Each structure stands twice: as structure tokens, then as C-alpha cells.
């Protein structure tokens, strides 16, 4: 897959960062990190500022499900499967 100096899913990470920053009140607090990389599966963790997690998750998790769908579609360009986890700190 990718070597250790590159992001394993650059398109998916860029799309995820853009979408989440457009939703939250504090876009500068958004952090997207690669948590785990298996053979063809990448786990991306999203951290947002205080009070913004509810905006990202949405009612009944609909916003989070939609974000995951868009990011998985973008990950097809990276040739990997992506899972997105929203982390509460």
C-alpha cells in the first residue's frame, strides 16, 4: 500500500476534513488522524472542538452516517476502505 511517510487515504482525509470543518462552529479545532491501518482498511478519527460533536453526529446520527458515506465514496479513489470514528474528548 503506501509507505510510512504518506497519508494512507489522502483523498478521503481531505474530503472528511473539508466536510467536518464546514459543519462545525470552530473549524480550526477540527483534527483528522489516522488511527489504524490494516491491509485495505483505514480508520480515521475525527476530533472537534467543545460543543461541536453534536453538530457532526446530528439527529439520530444521520449527519455522521452521511459523512461516512461520502468519505467511503472518496476513499475509492485511494483504493482503500475507510471507517470514520468521531471521538469525544
pLDDT at residue 7, as a whole number: 78
* Topology at the third CATH level for domain 10-87: GMP Synthetase; Chain A, domain 3 (3.30.300)
> If you write DSSP's letter for every residue of 29-79 in order, what string do you get?
G-EEEEEEE-SSEEEEEEE--TT-HHHHH-GGGHHHHHHHHHHHHHHTTTT
Q: What is the pLDDT averaged over residues 6-16?
A: 90
Considering only residues 89 and 14, tell me which one the structure prediction assigns the higher pLDDT.
14
What is the Cα–Cα distance from 69 to 2, expressed in whole angstroms? Answer: 23
Percent of the chain with pLDDT over 90: 78
Position 67 scores a pLDDT of 98
Q: Where are the domains of the chain?
A: 10-87
Mean residue pLDDT across the chain: 90
Residue 2 has pLDDT above 70, yes or no: no
Give the predicted TM-score (pTM) of the model: 0.89
* pLDDT at residue number 38: 80
Amino acid at each position: 500500500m503506501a509507505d510510512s511517510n504518506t497519508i494512507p487515504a489522502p483523498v478521503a482525509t481531505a474530503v472528511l476534513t473539508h466536510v467536518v470543518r464546514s459543519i462545525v462552529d470552530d473549524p480550526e479545532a477540527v483534527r483528522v488522524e489516522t488511527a489504524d491501518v490494516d491491509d485495505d482498511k483505514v480508520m480515521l478519527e475525527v476530533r472537534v472542538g467543545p460543543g461541536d460533536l453534536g453538530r457532526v453526529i446530528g439527529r439520530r446520527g444521520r449527519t455522521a452516517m452521511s459523512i461516512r458515506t461520502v468519505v467511503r465514496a472518496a476513499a475509492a479513489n485511494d483504493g482503500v476502505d475507510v471507517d470514520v470514528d468521531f471521538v469525544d474528548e
